[in-house]
Amino acid sequence: MSNETDLGAAPVESIVAKPLNRRSVVGGIAAVPIATSAVAGLSAPAMAAPAMAATIDPTDRRLSIFKGRYALANGKIIDGYFASPRGKTKLNVVLVMPKGDTLDAETENEARRHALDGYLAIVPDLKATSGVAALAGRGAMLADVMTAVPGLKRMAHGNGHVRVIGAQA
């Protein structure tokens, strides 16, 4: 393999035309954030600090928020936090799996961010939703909540598209 590929400055056509060396690719990817921070005038410690996501006020008038139980068409009941853009329907559904077994402020905030982006965001309270399965541990609770996905596809304000993600907050 060739070591002459410069991913930082090379146009896409020249990168595709040559065989790539794994070290060159990884080095080029690693150079992008460093170059970006140098251009922006940021120091290394500022770059290393994680970017804090904006906190969305739970009373934001652009959102409809519901915290409680929701019965799905397939008979499954989800206990959790529901956020959507106010007055919108036919939304993609995003199921945000919490970091812990219950609801927390960071994950609820993430749901509000997704709602502002146009999604119907749901954060299940894993312990409350799973019931007896909670005794078997987090894996069993996640598996139990995943049985709700077919019902989520038929939600009143949804459009049939469901995406499951882990909390990022």
Rounded distance, CA 167 to CA 169, Å? 6
**β-bridge partners, 123:** 81
All residue ranges of the chain with pLDDT < 50 are 1-18, 25-26, 28-51
Three-state SS at 79: strand
Rounded distance, CA 122 to CA 95, Å? 5
Rounded distance, CA 81 to CA 120, Å? 11
